[in-house]
Every structure is written in structure tokens, then in C-alpha cells.
Amino acid sequence: MSVAAPPQLFAFDNSFVREMEGLYVPWQGAVAPAPELLVLNEALAVELGAEVAALRAPEGVAALVGSAPPAGAEPVAMAYSGHQFGSLSPRLGDGRALLLGEVVDAGGRRRDLHLKGSGRTPFARGGDGKAAVGPMLREHLVSEAMHALVIPTTRALAVVATGERVMRETALPGAVLARVASSHLRVGTFQYASLSGDIALLQRLTDYAIARHHPAATDADVPALALFEAVLDAQAKLVAQWMSVAFVHGVMNTDNMTISGETIDYGPCAFMEAFDPAATFSSIDHGGRYAYGMQPALAQWDLARLAESLLPLIADDTESAAALATPILESWWPRYDAAFLARMRAKLGIPVSGDPGDDELDTTLIADLLGLLRADHVDFTSFFRAAASTLRGDDRTTDARGLFLNLAAWDAWLARWRERLGDAADDPATPSTMDTINPVYIPRNHAVEDALTAATVGDLAPYHRLLSAVTRPFEARAGFEDLAAPGPDGDVYVTYCGT
């Protein structure tokens, strides 16, 4: 009997396996009984140097579902720790995921190819190692929407149904997500290396992370400190971007915060509709720890755990190391505030003047607007398109005024905004530019739910329609009006984790 050679689907080059021994366990995916490709991101496949037809062939699908590793793949389950809802799990790791390997893409960027839902690993604890079709399509949809919103994120290459049932509250069709990331290094990876007490491992991880993500830190006096600062800066920009599109991650544990600054792990996430800083969607977030308005503070909390993990590399004694790291940790707020202000200014068409006095003025203008949105339960996403419409003097049906209950308060704010814009208020370029960064379509909770419900019983048409809308988010298109409107139940929406 001859055994067919594994297919050559990607040109793998696996630096993590080569250089980071101690942080992974070699492992194989479970065999899926009847794999079926549900969605393939062809543009991303091409970016990774793969042939679309080869990925669609049975050997390609078997590779994407984890049943048969392609040539050059060296599948491993990655080790990491994590503070989950504030308490530390020293040994978390990929319980149901595998890093297949790395590919240097067409643009010269190193990308991880990773599978989620590919079976139990030594890190699985009580879990079954599996994932259901709904949540994997959800990650595919929301991460691709995020990418289209020009917000750093992991990407989704494919979702493959396994042909097997997974037991959740009911029996659900199983699936595997093939995910692409600039890496899967997390704050939790550093916690794991640090907790191991093996300083050489922590040093190797730090050098690896610097080389891969923040190479400018190599030449710093204290590279570990420079790495911390670079991660903090990337996260400040990332979280400001989430806040500017009303994204609620839902599970900002340290194992779900990347070193690269990409959004990762779309579990119980949601886009808030009516503006409310207390908005929480996750079924397990009882205290509202990861509510919309808490996200910047929680990111800083997670980054403090990164700093703690790096202390042994920052100075010989803990006290001196902490004295060096603390000012950087404290620089979170000015960095975050500046990033958020820049995003919100752009959303409102406000030019940057360079006059520091304007920062205070604009911060107040924006805070007052958010106060109005909150008081009148205004749909955050719709507001910014409507505001551009107001500047253009479009007809009353699209004017932002129609979104408010307190019309006097809106009129007063509008007058202040116009005054701040000055000549730009009447320049048609202002609303046009606003429309290039304020989305018409986000993955609205009701639409996502409807699409996933249909997909779970085999009808992928609503899913593809929604995917089409949210991956071209800035362009209003005829026939997609329902996907631009808030849901019937507003923000009464619950998401589930680890499903």
C-alpha cells in the first residue's frame, strides 16, 4: 500500500517551533469524519501564496480542518497563562487549537496559520477540544469585518464543518476555523515564561517577540522595557479604534491580548448599538468587568501583567525594574486619550490644528456628544453617517436630528460643532471624508444571529450576504438597507464564550 505524500499547500517557515522550544507541545489535530468547506477567504489564500483550487480540493480541506497536516506544517499547541476575569490560570494554553506553522506572505510579512476547534490537546483540561459552526463562522465574519474597518486583527482563512456533532446546550454541527495572525504571542505567553522561573526562556521569548513585532526595541538601552512600551502603544491605538466603532471585545483576559497589537479571540464580542458605556453582552461577564466603557482601563490592567512578567529582564532587582516600568504604564492614559481623540476628530471631520488648546476644546465637544447619544439612546454607528448627512443638508429622513429626543440639546451641540469646523462645515469634502471612515455596515447583533441560525441548519445565503455588507462597510449599497438599521431589541443581546 502506498501512502500519498502530504500536499504542498503553503511554503512554511516555522520560526516559533525552531526558536521557542519550551512554549509548545507538538500535537496532531483530530480526524474530522466528513469535512465540508463552508467558507474560504480566497483573497487571503492568495496573499498567503496558496492556490485556491488546491485548498478547495479534498487534501486542502483535510489540511484546513486539521485532519492531515500539509507538507512543511509542524503543528503545535502553544503554552500560555492567563488572568481570566482577574484570576490567574498559570497553565491555560491552546486547549482546542493548533499552530500549523508560519508563512511569509506576498508582502514579506510572517503570518501564523492556526486552527481552532481541531480537537483536544494536553491543555484541554475539561474541554472537548471542539468548536461549533456558529461561533467559528461568527469569528470569521467579525474578524473580516474588523479588517475591513481597517482595525488590526487576526484574519479568517476558512471555516470547515467537521461532519461531527459537538455537545453544547444542544448537539450542534462542529467546525474548525483556520485563522491567520501576525503571531499568536500574547501577554499570557510572557506570563507563562515568567512563571516558569526560567529566565533564559523569558529572554528568548522577549528577543523573539522584539524581532518579530517591534524590531526598533532591539537597539534600546533596555530592550525588554522598550518592548513593553511598544506593546502598550500598539494596544492604546487598538483599543481607541475599538471604542471608535463601538466594539465590545467581551473577554479581555491576558491570554486574549496580543503582543502584535492585533485584535484576537472573537468569542463573546459584540458591537454596541445605542451608546452606553455600561454595555456588556457576554453571558459570563456578570460584573460588567469588560463593559464597553471599561475597556481602556482593563487593557491597562492587562498590560501591568505584561510589565510584571518582564521585570526580571528590566533590572537586577524588582524595585529598580518597577521604577522603570511604572512611568510607561502610566503613559497609557495620555497615549490612549490622544489616540481616541484623533479617531473621534476624524469621525467628526475636525481637522487637527496643532494648537494644544484645541485638544481640550475637542475633548469636551466629543464628551458632550457622547453624553447626548447616551441620554437619548442613539445608535452609535448610524449617528456618524447621519451627522455627515446633516452637514450636506440632505433631506430630513437622513438628518441626525431625527435620532434625538432632546432636540434643543442636539441643536445646541450642532451649532458648537459647526463653529469648530468653521469653513469646513460647508465644504462638501468634509462629509465625504467622514463617510470614508464611518461605517454604514457593522456586524449588528440581530443580523449576525439570524445569519448564524440559518447557517447552523445549512443555509449559508444570509451569512454570505452579511459578510458581503460588512466587508465593504463604508459604501451604502441598495438592497442592504436592513443591515444598516439597529436591531428590533436594541442592545438586549447575550453572547456566549468558549462555544
Contact region for Mg ion (CB under 5 A) — 262-270, 288-296, 332-340, 430-438? 262-270
397: helix, strand or coil: coil
Give the shortest CB-222-to-Mg ion separation in angstroms: 30
Which residue's CB is nearer to ligand AMP, number 6 or number 498?
Answer: 498
Which residue's CB is nearer to Mg ion, number 144 or number 265?
Answer: 265
Residue closest to 181 by CA, chosen among 219, 226, 146:
146
Give the shortest CB-82-to-Mg ion separation in angstroms: 7
Question: Which of left, alpha, beta for 175 (phi over 0: left; psi -120 to 50: alpha)?
Answer: beta
Cβ–Cβ under 8 Å, residues 246 and 294: no
Question: Which of left, alpha, beta for 218 (phi over 0: left; psi -120 to 50: alpha)?
Answer: alpha
**Does 265 interact with Mg ion (rule: CB under 5 A)?**
yes
Contact region for Mg ion (CB under 5 A) — 117-125, 231-239, 252-260, 284-292? 252-260
Give the shortest CB-124-to-Mg ion separation in angstroms: 13
What is the Cα–Cα distance from 455 to 465, expressed in whole angstroms?
12
What is the Cα–Cα distance from 66 to 249, expressed in whole angstroms?
27
Cβ–Cβ under 8 Å, residues 195 and 308: no
Question: At 190, phi and psi to the nearest 5?
Answer: -70, -40
Buried b (16+ CB within 10 A) or exposed e, 50-89: beeebbeeebbbbbbbbbbbbebbbbbbbbbbbbbeeeeb
Environment class of residue 408 by beta-carbon count within 10 Å: exposed (0-12), middle (13-18) or buried (19+)? exposed
Give the shortest CB-267-to-ligand AMP separation in angstroms: 5
Grid look-up 509542524 returns 74
Residue closest to 81 by CA, chosen among 369, 306, 387:
306
**Does 229 interact with Mg ion (rule: CB under 5 A)?**
no
Q: Name the binder of 291 from Mg ion, ligand AMP, none, CB < 5-8 A by kind.
A: none
Give the shortest CB-375-to-ligand AMP separation in angstroms: 34
Q: Name the binder of 251 from Mg ion, ligand AMP, none, CB < 5-8 A by kind.
A: ligand AMP
Q: Name the binder of 59 from Mg ion, ligand AMP, none, CB < 5-8 A by kind.
A: none
Q: Which residue is nearest to ligand AMP (CB)?
A: 127
Q: Name the binder of 262 from Mg ion, ligand AMP, none, CB < 5-8 A by kind.
A: none
Secondary structure (DSSP) of 189-253:
HHHHHHHTT-HHHHHHHHHHHHHHH-GGGGGSSSHHHHHHHHHHHHHHHHHHHHHHTTEE-S---
Q: Name the binder of 92 from Mg ion, ligand AMP, none, CB < 5-8 A by kind.
A: ligand AMP
Which residue's CB is nearer to ligand AMP, number 67 or number 389?
Answer: 67
Q: Name the binder of 370 from Mg ion, ligand AMP, none, CB < 5-8 A by kind.
A: none
Cβ–Cβ under 8 Å, residues 179 and 195: no
**Does 256 interact with Mg ion (rule: CB under 5 A)?**
yes
**Does 41 interact with Mg ion (rule: CB under 5 A)?**
no
Contact region for Mg ion (CB under 5 A) — 263-271, 447-455, 463-471, 472-480? 263-271
Which residue's CB is nearer to ligand AMP, number 94 or number 379?
Answer: 94
Give the shortest CB-128-to-Mg ion separation in angstroms: 16
Q: Name the binder of 33 from ligand AMP, Mg ion, none, CB < 5-8 A by kind.
A: none
For binding to ligand AMP (CB under 6 A), which residues are involved? 92-97, 123-124, 127-130, 251, 255-256, 265, 267, 497-498
What is the Cα–Cα distance from 189 to 199, expressed in whole angstroms?
14
What is the Cα–Cα distance from 445 to 281, expressed in whole angstroms?
10
Buried b (16+ CB within 10 A) or exposed e, 249-287: bbbbbbbbbbbbbbbbbbbbbbbbbbbbeebbbbebbee
Known catalytic membership, residue 489 = no
Dmax (CA) for the chain in angstroms is: 82
Instruction: Tell me the one-letter amino acid at 81.
Output: S
Contact region for Mg ion (CB under 5 A) — 250-258, 359-367, 438-446, 472-480? 250-258
| Number of residues this chain uses to bind Mg ion (CB under 5 A) | 3
Give the shortest CB-443-to-ligand AMP separation in angstroms: 18
Of the candidates 105, 255, 265, 276, the residue annotated as catalytic is 255
Give the shortest CB-264-to-ligand AMP separation in angstroms: 9
Contact region for Mg ion (CB under 5 A) — 22-30, 132-140, 248-256, 345-353? 248-256
Query: Which parts of this chain interact with Mg ion (CB under 5 A)?
Result: 255-256, 265
Catalytic residue list: 255
